[in-house]
Amino acid sequence: MSYDFDVATHLRASPEALEEWLSERGLVVEGRLASDDSMWVRRRVRGGQSLGFSVEGPFAVKLGDLADPLRAAVLAPRWLVQLHVSGDEKDIGLGRSLARYLAREFEGAVHDPQADSLVFSSAGARRFRRPQGEKRISVLQMKWLLPPRPEPGTAGQFLDALRVVPEARPKRFGDFEPFQGRVPLDDDSPFVAQWEEVLARRPGSFGSLFWKAGAPFYGGAVSFPNPRALIEPGQRQVTQVRMDVDGRALHQPRWREAIVDLFQQTAVGIEAVWGAAYLEDGWLARGRSLWADSKLVHAWEFNIVGNVWHGLPPGVSWLTWFGPAYRAKVETALGDRGTRIGTGLFLRIGDEPSLPATIQSSFPELPDELLWHYLDDSSPKGKNAPKSTAAWLPKL
């Protein structure tokens, strides 16, 4: 009989912990848990030993390497251990018990490929609870830019990317509050249909779709440009997709890494031209909502007024995505700090996010031809501060 179990975990499984578990049960062990070796585990039976099972790994993995059930169940999966059972039902039961132990101890989940279902998940540990009452918090603003008329299917690709962190998935949506639309867990069509309906509205009408999501996400929006809007020669119109994340979750390593994964996978999934995740301080959090007042420290450099793209902002971001159109232009400036992911380049400044002013000196100096600049450095920087257009803009 042959039976397999896949165990995806956030923490790397240690050989010592595994050997202790096996020793307590009096099992016969050959080899040691290592990515370049196999461990064999057998039960003692009358007349000898059972056929048993092998344990292989831990292997470093990326999200795309895992089956959908594991991607949804494990927050920021980093490692995979595989069990291959050759023995009888008792060996299968023992292998299942070991897989559950690994998932519980090292923050993960067990997938049964035969049934394509989860055997065990430590998903309870991924729940983020917002403190009660009114609080001043930092918020991570995540933003991605697309061409002005995104390709058909982009809405579905966006929802597919969010499966990396299911809490980010829209729960209620609409173009005005209270939101009337709901997104079932197993049905993307209501959200996709509303996205396409807003995109297809006549020029000059309201072109945004908003949504609420699960903690630690507050929600997000997609905003389409008005094709009849007057823009300066050389400027570009863009579609914006954004999401807001409770900054308190970023103090927890698992949530922080999961959100980094989400930023990357969304950029790849919707084929973003550019993207950024930057911290803003002073937001007022009340339950599931965010409010802005005079104490908000807003990063105006990332504000794209009227969906008009002037070029890369002069501000700095914790996470930055450069799509194919920008990749060749920034590769030299990023050097070995840029990570090739799909057709783009990804840049991360530091382990934990910091306010833009704090990481200014750590951000690479990008080619000046790609940046816009304030026209009057002596005037206050705000939403409508006059700015130049970069010397080079990609065709969208």
In terms of domains, do 171 and 228 share one? yes
Q: What percent of the chain has pLDDT over 90?
A: 67
Report yes or no on 196 lying in a domain.
yes
In terms of domains, do 74 and 216 share one? no
Q: What is the mean pLDDT of the chain?
A: 90
Q: Which residue has the higher pLDDT, 96 or 73?
A: 96
Q: Would you state the pLDDT for residue 131?
A: 72
In terms of domains, do 26 and 121 share one? yes
CATH number at residue 94: 3.30.1400
Domain boundary residue, one of 103, 126, 149: 126
Q: What Cα–Cα distance (Å) separates residue 315 from each residue in 8, 93, 277, 331, 393?
A: 37, 56, 11, 18, 17
Report yes or no on 17 lying in a domain.
yes
Domain boundary residue, one of 82, 103, 126: 126
Of 73-87, 123-137, 220-234, 308-322, the one with minimum mean pLDDT is 123-137
Q: Would you state the pLDDT for residue 204?
A: 60
Report yes or no on 194 lying in a domain.
yes
In terms of domains, do 106 and 186 share one? no
Domain boundary residue, one of 126, 149, 174: 126
Is the distance from CB of 290 to CB of 366 less than 8 angstroms?
no
In terms of domains, do 102 and 233 share one? no
In terms of domains, do 315 and 213 share one? yes
In terms of domains, do 30 and 79 share one? yes
Q: Would you state the pLDDT for residue 52?
A: 93
Q: What is the pTM of this model?
A: 0.82
Q: Would you state the pLDDT for residue 26?
A: 92
**Each residue's pLDDT tens digit, 289-323:** 888 888 888 899 999 988 999 999 999 999 999 99
Closest CA to 223 of 244, 245, 199: 199
The DSSP output letter for 247 is G
Out of 79-88, 120-129, 173-182, the most confident range is: 79-88
Report yes or no on 393 lying in a domain.
no
In terms of domains, do 115 and 149 share one? no
In terms of domains, do 105 and 141 share one? no
Q: What Cα–Cα distance (Å) separates residue 54 from each residue in 29, 30, 42, 279?
A: 10, 9, 9, 46
Report yes or no on 181 lying in a domain.
yes
Q: Which residue has the higher pLDDT, 100 or 68?
A: 100
CA 23 to centroid of chain Cα atoms: 39
pLDDT at residue 64 tops 90: no
Is the distance from CB of 389 to CB of 234 less than 8 angstroms?
yes
Q: Would you state the pLDDT for residue 319?
A: 98
In terms of domains, do 116 and 160 share one? no
**Each residue's pLDDT tens digit, 366-378:** 999 999 998 877 6
Report yes or no on 379 lying in a domain.
no
Q: Would you state the pLDDT for residue 65?
A: 82
In terms of domains, do 33 and 66 share one? yes
3-state class (DSSP) for residue 345? strand
Query: What domain range is 264 assigned to?
Result: 134-370
**Each residue's pLDDT tens digit, 172-207:** 999 888 888 998 878 899 999 999 999 988 666 668
In terms of domains, do 221 and 313 share one? yes
Domain total in the chain = 2
Out of 181-195, 222-236, 267-281, the most confident range is: 267-281
Report yes or no on 378 lying in a domain.
no
Of 126-130, 164-168, 317-321, the one with minimum mean pLDDT is 126-130
Report yes or no on 18 lying in a domain.
yes
pLDDT at residue 247 tops 80: yes
**Each residue's pLDDT tens digit, 326-352:** 999 999 999 999 999 999 999 999 999
Residue 229 pLDDT level (bands cut at 50, 70, 90): confident
